[in-house]
Amino acid sequence: MSVWAVLAAAGSGERLGTDRPKAFVRLGEQPLLAESLERLDASDWVDAIVVAAPPGWEEPSILLAEELGCSKVSSCVTGGQTRAESVKRALAEVPDDAAVVLVHDAARPYVDDAVIERVLTALNEGWDGAVPALSLSDTVKRVDGDRVVETLTRAELRAVQTPQAFVAHVLRDAYENGDLATATDCASLVEARGGRVKIVPGDYRLVKITDAADLERMAPLT
């Protein structure tokens, strides 16, 4: 079973307020992208990697992979306007005979083998896809402007992370036929096509780095 990883790293990182895209801000000693790149490359579960780089940062992304000795990086594509567009472009570089695609956000640097094993095991059980998720500690409300419309049942809700794993042809179908404009993760596109997606335990270290405070909080973990 060949497993191809797609690393979505093309976000602008506007909310970080830096002069460079999020994948190239420093996390400890290295660019943020380096952490997930090295970890995916070192994983025995992963056979090859396609990186979606920020426009204009393709060359530095390839150089970084070379410097780190990440030999599994097969190609680097120019990311699109949205995460879904970036993943779609990377998916086009995944060969037809790939069995599984593992999609991961570079903004979640601390991916590890334990979570990769959990999502891949679910595919072996026959699921179309699997996503790591955490229960919520906050109560979540649906709103209309500043008016509360509804309070959702917390026990039924999960905060979903990456890496997300999918049977390759299921993910391709979802990206070819789905509404990419509204998708904030891959699983939602698969669900919309009737795919069966399993929830597996996530990890608090997989929280997404969005702003400067997240960077400060996460850097000591490197």
Q: Which residues bind ligand C5P (CB under 6 A)?
A: 8-11, 22-23, 52, 79-83, 86, 105-107, 208
Query: 39 — alpha (psi -120 to 50), left (phi > 0) or beta?
Result: alpha
Nearer Cβ to ligand C5P (106/111): 106
Q: Which of 49, 29, 19 is nearest to 37 (CA)?
A: 49
89 within 8 A of 75, measured Cβ to Cβ: no
In order of 20, 50, 178, 207, 215, the CA distances from 27 in angstroms are 13, 22, 34, 14, 7
Nearer Cβ to ligand C5P (99/221): 221
Nearer Cβ to ligand C5P (196/217): 217
The dihedrals phi and psi of 47, each to the nearest 5 degrees, come to -95, -35
| Identity of the amino acid at 74 | S
Query: CB of 53: closest distance to ligand C5P in angstroms?
Result: 8
Query: CB of 41: closest distance to ligand C5P in angstroms?
Result: 17
In order of 64, 91, 217, the CA distances from 137 in angstroms are 37, 34, 19
Query: CB of 104: closest distance to ligand C5P in angstroms?
Result: 8
Query: CB of 201: closest distance to ligand C5P in angstroms?
Result: 21
Nearer Cβ to ligand C5P (25/130): 25
Query: CB of 171: closest distance to ligand C5P in angstroms?
Result: 15
Three-class DSSP category at 87? helix
Token pair of 129 as six digits: 């896809």
Residue with CB nearest ligand C5P? 11
Nearer Cβ to ligand C5P (54/129): 54
